[in-house]
Amino acid sequence: MRETPSLQSPPLPSNDAQGPVLEARGLRRRYGGRWVLDGIDLSLAPGSILGLLGRNGAGKSTLLRCLLGLTPSDGGQALIYGTPSWELGAREKSRLGFVAQTHRFQPWMTPQQMVSYVSAFYPTWDADLVDGLITRWEIPRSQRIGTLSPGEAQRLAIVLALGPRPTLLIMDEPAASLDPGARRAVIGAVLESVASDGTAVLISSHLTSDLERIADRVAFMHGGRIAIDTDLDRLKDTVKRLHIRADHLPEAFAVPGMLHCERRPDGALVTVRLAEAAQAATLVAELQMRYQALVVVEDLSLEDIFLAVDQ
């Protein structure tokens, strides 16, 4: 059975509170002479799933660690439940779930021993949930963690993060070591957490296909800043690829909202970001008239959009 906190203790942070669960305000972090985070503004509402994208070295892991108060920032603020991350108390921390990119388990312990150890720190620990996930995800209970496969260790880390039924779940490349079946299972477990507890989720991942299935918002990191932060459906509605076939396009050819242009002998391949989805038809008509062009509009996947934005 899930334990409950003492009646004499102040209430645990709740998703029912107004305002964002997680917030960055002008967050900055320098390594050497380079700003890895250069004025990051970001917020996460209860029940929202935000996918964080960026190339290797874009600062995603640094951002997550600064948001959690695990790495000091050089400017700005990181707030969790409205409290600076460096000032979080035990009650606030007990409602956080974190899956790091690199695990630091005690290799001599077994998963069952690790569960027993970690659960003691969380008054909201759901033993039934954890036991069910360990069984379904086929994590060896009595095998030393140091002998687990990378996928088994990754699944254990995710189970431990979900165990306290967190109101805020942060995951850094959670599916890097998982096969497609295990990734699907993890997505299902995260969605169940959001549906049952209103959990706010921030996931950093290179697996755009997974983010496309689970996220309702996406943020693209580039050059230490957030280049795009928007609703995923809106992003896919407003970013399109135009296949333009025309005999003569000027050297200075450009299209409003252009993210990327690849000139070709018979025309151009252009990726655009429109203010509104309805502008696509107007833009196509203008291009057809101005350049006597044949224009075909292509819908893009999240991966296509990310590659176009990150040129």
How does residue 2 score in pLDDT terms, banded at 50, 70 and 90?
very low
Is 199:163 a contact under the CB 8 Å cutoff?
A: no
Mean pLDDT of the chain: 90
Check pLDDT > 90 for residue 127. yes
The whole-angstrom separation of Cα 273 and Cα 87 is 40
Check pLDDT > 70 for residue 147. yes
Mean pLDDT confidence for 2-9 = 34
Mean pLDDT confidence for 47-54 = 95
Mean pLDDT confidence for 302-306 = 93
C-alpha distances (whole Å) from 295 to each of 7, 110, 243, 289, 291 are 66, 60, 6, 11, 10
Angle, helix 150-162 to helix 180-197, in steps of 10 degrees: 0
Check pLDDT > 50 for residue 10. no
Tokens of 170: 């942060």
CA angle at residue 80 from 78 to 82, to 5 degrees? 95
Mean pLDDT confidence for 27-41 = 92
Check pLDDT > 60 for residue 184. yes
Per-residue model confidence (pLDDT) at position 223: 85
Per-residue model confidence (pLDDT) at position 57: 83
Is 198:43 a contact under the CB 8 Å cutoff?
A: no
The whole-angstrom separation of Cα 138 and Cα 128 is 15
Per-residue model confidence (pLDDT) at position 18: 61
- Report the range out of 27-36, 108-117, 259-268 with the highest average pLDDT: 108-117
Check pLDDT > 90 for residue 102. no
Indicate the residue type of 50: L
The whole-angstrom separation of Cα 293 and Cα 265 is 13
The whole-angstrom separation of Cα 287 and Cα 257 is 14
Check pLDDT > 60 for residue 108. yes
pLDDT above 70 covers a percentage of the chain that reads 94
Check pLDDT > 90 for residue 96. yes
Mean pLDDT confidence for 2-10 = 34
Mean pLDDT confidence for 219-236 = 93
Check pLDDT > 90 for residue 5. no
How does residue 166 score in pLDDT terms, banded at 50, 70 and 90?
very high
The whole-angstrom separation of Cα 47 and Cα 202 is 11
Per-residue model confidence (pLDDT) at position 175: 86
Question: Domains in the chain, please, with CATH?
Answer: 22-223 (3.40.50.300), 234-309 (3.30.70)
